[in-house]
Amino acid sequence: MELKTKEYVSYSDALQAFSRGLQEPEWMLQMRLDALENIEDLNLPVIERLRYNRWPLFQVPDLTGAPASKTVDPFEFIEDKADAARVIQTGNDTVIETLPESLKDKGVIFTDMHTALREHPELVKEAYMSKAVKPDTNKITAFHAAFMNSGLFLYVPKNVVIEEPLEAIFIQNSLVEDAYIKHVLIYADTNSSFNYVEKFLTKGNKKNAGNIVVEVVTKAGAQVKFSAVDQLGENSTIYFNRKGHTSRDSSIDWAIGAMNTGNVICDFDTDLVGEGSSTDLKAVGVSSGRQTQVIDSNVVNIGRNTTGNIFQHGVILDRATLTFNGIGHILNGAKGSDAQQESRVLMLSDKARGDANPILLIEENDVTAGHAASVGRVDPEEMYYLMSRGIEKTEAERLVIRGFLGKVIQAIPLRSMRDDLVQTIERKLTSR
């Protein structure tokens, strides 16, 4: 339920008590209070082809700090793995946190946000909502800055190269009514290089709002490969913002599977700030039932010789909606830059609604850019060919779809995550 100005500000005392209870640094409390005052004055972000002003996104979380009345058993969702770099959170609690000694020795920090704010306040401050996502950008980011109630901090120091993926699993606790205001901050120091994978799930079916912000901030020369499988629940209404901010010659490559079952806005953005930096965003989405998912990918070329690629493929079933907005924005001064995008949607039902909406905004002459977009059905020639070899219609359709979504699946480094994504897709397809 959306509240009036006075009512947001009325949370000021509770918010202060919440922040003090967590021993947050003063700058953090100040950011919360400033954001709280701004919520009402700021507008909702404009998402092309979507009206969502009636979506229940502004649920204020429980600020008492009391433990949830029902808790989630993480082992329902995960396997026990020794000695992997892993953080598992159920609801607002961190239940597993493991980091190999070798990485600790190198100065890698991989811990929950509250601990990070207590133990490394200055490091968090360098990147938290100051580079990628800003509190005063819109109503949703302000709400997030004010009410963020849990999260994760990953810091990889200068020149540290990590081969094995770092893994985070977040299980929203919808056994209870509470807003899910999660913040993930990934801070890649100069010339560091690593893989990070994350998974979002929901346990329970209470109607909850989520406001999730994931920031990836790179310093010069850092290389981050980020992958995610999102499977938030049917009764979770989510605004999901993943945003990268690149320094000189760094790169952020995203591979994201939007497999949620509720209504979700996914803002997947990267600001290519440093000269010679690049991003490659691959996203797949499957919408089913009556849900709406909008994937709004926005790459801004700010620095010279920056390269941005957006690649989005999606499948729609039943009466669901799936919209891809691909926004490539080359700013004046970003000479030698390149903005490319491809968005394709496959409709598997007459009642499905799909949209692939390419937008190129170019303010500089010396650049290259291109786009491709389509909304269509499974090619009858392809189906005929597969079936002419004896493969049944449903199996042929599954093969075509898997092929269509394959590019993102292959980009995920962790096998278990890839298998999980494939299984989730199959489950969505067979639930028809």
Residues making contact with another protein (CB under 8 A): 379-382, 384-393, 395-396, 399-400, 402-407
Q: How far is the CB of 342 from another protein (least distance, A)?
A: 12
Non-local (6+) Cβ contacts of 427 within 8 A are none
328/306 Cα distance (integer angstroms)? 12
Q: Which is nearer to another protein, 393 or 427 (CB)?
A: 393
The answer to whether 79 touches 94, Cβ cutoff 8 Å, is no
Query: Could you tell me the maximum CA-CA distance found in the chain, to the nearest angstrom?
Result: 69
Q: Which is nearer to another protein, 11 or 404 (CB)?
A: 404
Q: Which is nearer to another protein, 362 or 378 (CB)?
A: 378
Q: How far is the CB of 387 from another protein (least distance, A)?
A: 4
283/254 Cα distance (integer angstroms)? 8
Q: Which is nearer to another protein, 3 or 399 (CB)?
A: 399
CA distances from 233 to 238, 291, 314 (A): 10, 11, 19
Q: How far is the CB of 426 from another protein (least distance, A)?
A: 14
Q: Which is nearer to another protein, 21 or 406 (CB)?
A: 406
Q: Which is nearer to another protein, 23 or 410 (CB)?
A: 410
CA-derived radius of gyration, the chain = 21
Residue with tokens 């926004």: 327
Q: How far is the CB of 337 from another protein (least distance, A)?
A: 28
Q: How far is the CB of 391 from another protein (least distance, A)?
A: 5
DSSP SS3 for 256: strand
Kindly state the helix (H) or strand (E) to which residue 409 belongs, with its residue range: helix 393-410
CA distances from 261 to 15, 206, 242 (A): 31, 14, 19
The answer to whether 281 touches 309, Cβ cutoff 8 Å, is yes
Q: Which is nearer to another protein, 96 or 373 (CB)?
A: 373
Q: Which is nearer to another protein, 166 or 425 (CB)?
A: 425
Q: Which is nearer to another protein, 51 or 380 (CB)?
A: 380
134/183 Cα distance (integer angstroms)? 13
303/247 Cα distance (integer angstroms)? 9
Other C-beta atoms within 10 Å of 159: how many?
13
187/202 Cα distance (integer angstroms)? 26
Tokens of 268: 């997947």
Q: How far is the CB of 298 from another protein (least distance, A)?
A: 26
Q: How far is the CB of 408 from another protein (least distance, A)?
A: 10
Q: How far is the CB of 421 from another protein (least distance, A)?
A: 13
Q: Which residues of 173-192 are buried (b: 16+ CB within 10 A; e: fewer)?
A: bbbeebbbbbbbbbbbbbbb
Q: How far is the CB of 165 from another protein (least distance, A)?
A: 23
